[in-house]
Amino acid sequence: MTATPMVRFQGVTKRYGPLTVLDSLDLDVAQGEKVAIIGPSGSGKTTVLRMLMTLETIDDGVIYVEGEPLTHEQRNGALVPAGKSHIRKVRGKIGMVFQSFNLFPHMTALQNCIEAPVTVLKMPKAEAMERAAELLAMVGLADKKGHYPSQLSGGQQQRVAIARALAMRPRIMLFDEVTSALDPELVGEVLQVIRKLGSEHDLTMLMVTHQMGFAKEFADRVCFFYQGKICEQGPPQEFFSSPSNERTRQFLNAVLEAG
């Protein structure tokens, strides 16, 4: 990792009142790297993604995207809190898929996928529709273009959500527990799409997940969060076979027992 990291968290802290959710987090993610973030609930793992997506403010530290500060901008040599246009520019490199899909219920699958390209990227509508159709085909929903979210299963909705995020051509994709709201039999089709993305696209991915098997097979690195800090991290083989930290062992045992 000699090049500029795609994402860098530098001393990032997030507090909710007296509660410190993230405690001076340092984390570098290389371009094209797939990082799985695991940990017990309340460990701050989702907050990491939400801050990167600018859905949460940060209380301390700086997040860099391709060497460029996301939450701050250089002005006269000093780092000052970023203005709206700067945040939008950097945010354009990032796409996010949510646990609860968050599709726009009044739009069809296709409309969901062209809204942002047309209004934000100013893409001609015909081109946006063509690309959206390709993306929907890629996630296996070529025949569901005209369906509304309520007419789709959870797994299908989540795949539309992935296509919608990809339509903005992000360099970084964030997956926030994207299979947690799905019935067990629908988890596979969504993970299959993410696998495909990993192999076909040069995307950097950060995913918060409870699917240990998927993390093990798919990720380049696993980060275990505990009480707002990265407690342990490493390549999945080592991480899962011989965790060095007591907390990690406890967590993995608990997850394995449940699963």
Partner 1 sequence: MIWDWAYTLEILPRLARAAIITVEATLLGFVFAAILGLVLAVVRLAFPKTLVPISVFVEFIRSTPLLIQIFFLYFVFPSFGIVLDAFTAGVLALGLHYGAYCSEVYRAGFEGVHRGQWEAATALNLDTWTTFRDIIVPQAIPPTVPALGNYLVALLKETPLLSAIAVLELMQTAKILGSENFRYTEPITLVGLFFLAMSLVSAMLIRMVEAALKRRYVR
When the beta carbons of 62 and 107 are compared against partner 1, the nearer one is: 107
Question: Is there binding between residue 115 and partner 1 (CB under 8 A)?
Answer: yes
When the beta carbons of 69 and 170 are compared against partner 1, the nearer one is: 170
CB distance 174 to 96 below 8 Å: yes
Question: Is there binding between residue 88 and partner 1 (CB under 8 A)?
Answer: yes
Using the contact rule CB under 8 A, the part of the chain among 27-35, 49-57, 71-79, 241-249 near partner 1 is 49-57
Using the contact rule CB under 8 A, the part of the chain among 10-18, 68-76, 93-101, 230-238 near partner 1 is 93-101
In eight-state DSSP terms, residue 2 is -
Q: How far is CA 169 from CA 67, 197, 204, in A?
A: 19, 12, 12
Question: Is there binding between residue 100 and partner 1 (CB under 8 A)?
Answer: yes
Question: Is there binding between residue 95 and partner 1 (CB under 8 A)?
Answer: yes
Residues whose CB falls within 8 Å of the CB of residue 179, separated by 6 or more in sequence, listed in order: 158, 186, 187, 190, 191, 209, 210, 211
Question: Is there binding between residue 171 and partner 1 (CB under 8 A)?
Answer: no
When the beta carbons of 56 and 220 are compared against partner 1, the nearer one is: 56
Q: How far is the CB of 155 from partner 1 (least distance, A)?
A: 18
In the sheet with 19-29, reading across from the earlier edge strand, the strands are: 19-29, 7-16, 60-65, 68-69
CA atoms within 13 A on the CB side of 151: 11
